[in-house]
Amino acid sequence: MSEKKLKKRAEEAELQEEGLRETAPEECMQEENTAEDFVQEELQIRLPGRTLDRHALVRERVAHILSLGQEPSPSPYNAARLPGFLASCLNPVYLEELNRQEQPGEEQDERPEPAVGTASSGSEPAPLFNPTLSVEELEAACREYIRCCTAQLMRYAEPADELVVESLTTLGAPLTLHYLLTGHIPDEHAWEHGEPDTQLSEFLHSVGAPAEGESALLCSANGYYTPGEHQMSRDKFCKALATRRLRWNRRMERTLNTEAHMAATCGAWLVTPADPLWPRQLNDLGPARPYGLWCRGDSRHLLDVASAPSVALVGSRDPSIYGTEATTHLAAELARRGYTVISGGAMGIDIAAHRAALTQQGSDLPTIAFMAGGLDRLYPAQNSDALNMIVDRGLIMSEVSVGNTPTRWRFLERNRLIAALARHTIVVEARWRSGALNTARHAMEIGRTLWAVPGQINSPNSVGTNRLLRDGLAQTLTEAADILEYDAAAGFELGTEHESEWDRAASSSALDDLTERQGRVWDDLSPRSYRGVDEIAAALGLSARDVMADLFHLGRCGLAESSGTSWRKVRPAAAA
């Protein structure tokens, strides 16, 4: 290329550069700032924070606990205590050290030497909580502290996050929260041995102890506390920690006391895997197990979650008349037999299942609804009447902190909780790309029994359910008795009010002599509560006259007992 052409091109490039500077200086500045921000973020990720010795760590923990009691609001984590409960359990040596530091007008060299074992001494730090506490008080303090740390983690972190799951399993909730809040990274001792405080470490081991004979890999997969059993390197962990802090920084603005006020206002309370009432079924999710669950309702119902049989009913949000009727029939019949009906509280199949379960009295816990947002705002608003009834008689749960609004991905995330908490999952009506099929997939992955209600072959609402049946992924469900018989054959303990009792007692000569209709009447009776003739007749589709005749026959056989106008069941063993 000639020298003349090169000179001309250089002049054109210079003019073009000057024009850009004149016409768009803001754009150039924005690009420079963006590049600078990117470099700063990369530096934070590649050069994570410093480690913190155990003395400095205990100082920050004491300050954190004292901050929880600054406002006299009821604690949502344990209704019987105030936030100041934890402060009252602190080791006195730390409180004395803080008082000495706050004394004005005292020269540094005149102050007494710090007590051995305090955060300022050169020896090992003293225990966080008062060593003179009783075993029960110390356990309560550790549990409450872990509950508060879990509440903050749930507000910052997305559910089933890889880093948080890794950290909770190997370091515990208090250390995980500390690293997220401060940006510090675990030192070699914490990385290998987990929680450095002896009291918290012993408590984490006690509540997260695996079953005897379980391998370390299985223990880690089930969410047990297994310090040192890391799935990622320390370097990768530190880089991931810096990334999460950048991503979740804005969520850290709301204080725990603010959240406590919000939770107390709506009556929400928190249960964590460290609590005795934690639903153990959720541990089957492994790394996808929730960090904790916010709940509304009577906390004693968590005992029923562990003991009562349960079914999840899911399906379309715009069901057909057939789908609504099938849902209502199945949910009511199973709830009357003592099953807890679980669903998502949404429009359509979900709310139909909840409403039907609430009409029955066969279970102490008729229904559970899983929300996709915070429990301070029941969603959708159209179902608020039924959702408030669930609060009165059942439980509403969410893995999302109060104050968070429902989003599309949270609806899909909560489906795994519905599938895990229930023994059976029933898909009533589902389109080919329905969210109900997402719940079905979770149920299959963790080994839950999957059922599908056959639908009309020309209905778009039944394409998903019919394909589940065609591909052999789900069992056909046409009546509640199918599930009762399945559980009886599997050897599940169903309680005294379930139809499978008829199967277990079928060898009794008194029952063998009954006609088919008399057997149906006996099946429908409850051993605990009396039921009227009209109620039994309506449930079975028989005339009151036929039911009355059958009841008198059952009474003569010692299989039923009358209170004058109502009847209840007598089991064959008792009759004998």
The CATH code of the domain that includes 542 is: 1.10.10.10
Q: Is the residue at 548 inside a domain? A: yes
Average confidence (pLDDT) over 419-423: 95
Report helix, strand or coil for 555.
Answer: helix
> Are 310 and 366 within one domain?
yes
Edge-to-edge order in the sheet of strand 449-452: 269-271, 293-297, 395-398, 367-370, 340-343, 310-314, 424-427, 449-452, 475-476
* Residue 293, pLDDT score: 95
What pLDDT does residue 468 have?
A: 94
Burial class (CB within 10 angstroms; exposed 0-12, middle 13-18, buried 19+) of 8: exposed
Amino acid identity for residue 440 in this structure? A
Q: Are residues 455 and 564 in the same domain?
A: no
296 and 185 fall within a common domain: no
Identify the pLDDT of residue 254: 64
Mean per-residue pLDDT, 119-132: 81
Tell me which residue range forms the domain holding 143.
54-91+127-254
Token representation of residue 404: 């968070």
Do 264 and 243 contact (CB within 8 A), yes or no?
Answer: no
458 burial level (CB within 10 Å; 0-12, 13-18, 19+): exposed
Does any domain span residue 267? Answer: no
Query: Does position 42 have pLDDT exceeding 60, yes or no?
Result: no
Kindly state whether residues 322 and 444 are assigned to the same domain. yes
Based on the domain organization, do 515 and 485 belong to the same domain?
no
Whole-model pTM? 0.73
pLDDT for res 359 = 92
417 falls within a domain? yes
In a domain, 305, yes or no: yes
- In this prediction, residue 278 carries a pLDDT of 92
Determine which of 115-119, 131-135, 342-346 has the lowest per-residue pLDDT on average: 115-119
Residue type, 422: A
Residue 424 makes CB contacts below 8 A (sequence gap 6+) with 310, 311, 312, 448, 449, 450, 451, 483, 486
Residue 371 lies in a domain: yes
Give the mean pLDDT of 100-128. 66
Residue with the larger pLDDT of the pair 463 and 65: 463
- 429 & 366 share domain: yes
Q: How does residue 7 score in pLDDT terms, banded at 50, 70 and 90? A: low
pLDDT at residue 253, rounded to an integer: 67
74 domain residue, yes or no: yes
Which residue(s) pair with 567 in the sheet? 531, 562
Q: What dihedral angle (degrees, nearest 10) is formed by the CA atoms of 492, 498, 503, 508?
A: 120
What is the rounded CA–CA span in Å between residue 193 and residue 175?
12
Domain end residue (candidates: 254, 286, 314): 254
Q: Mean pLDDT over residues 290-308, rounded?
A: 90
The number of distinct structural domains making up the chain is: 4
| Residue at which a domain ends, from 459, 489, 519 | 489
* pLDDT at residue 98 is higher than 60: yes
User: Among the listed ranges 50-59, 179-188, 311-320, which one has the minimum average pLDDT value?
Assistant: 50-59
Q: Which residue has the higher pLDDT, 220 or 180?
A: 180
pLDDT tens for residues 339-389? 999 999 999 999 999 999 999 887 789 999 999 999 999 999 999 999 999
- Which DSSP string corresponds to 386-399? HHHHHHHHSEEEES
Asked if 242 and 321 sit in the same domain, the reply is no
The tokens for 174 are 């208090």
Look at residue 117 and tell me if it is in a domain.
no
Residues 172, 68 share a domain: yes
* Residue 355 within any structural domain of the chain: yes
Query: Does 37 or 127 have the greater pLDDT score?
Result: 127
What is the distance between the alpha carbons of residues 237 and 278, in angstroms, rounded to a whole number? 28
Locus of tokens 């003739």: 533
Residues 466 and 515 in one domain: no
DSSP code of residue 231 = S
Task: Note whether 314 and 342 are same-domain residues.
Answer: yes
From CA 320, how far away is CA 455, in angstroms rounded?
10
- Please name the residues in contact with 292: beta carbons below 8 A apart, sequence gap of 6 or more: 147, 150, 151, 153, 154, 270, 271, 272, 273, 399
The DSSP secondary-structure symbol of 576 reads -
Residue 104: per-residue pLDDT: 59
Do 515 and 478 belong to one domain? no
**Neighbouring-strand partners of residue 452:** 427, 476
Q: Mean pLDDT over all residues of the chain?
A: 80
Whether residues 532 and 437 fall in one domain: no
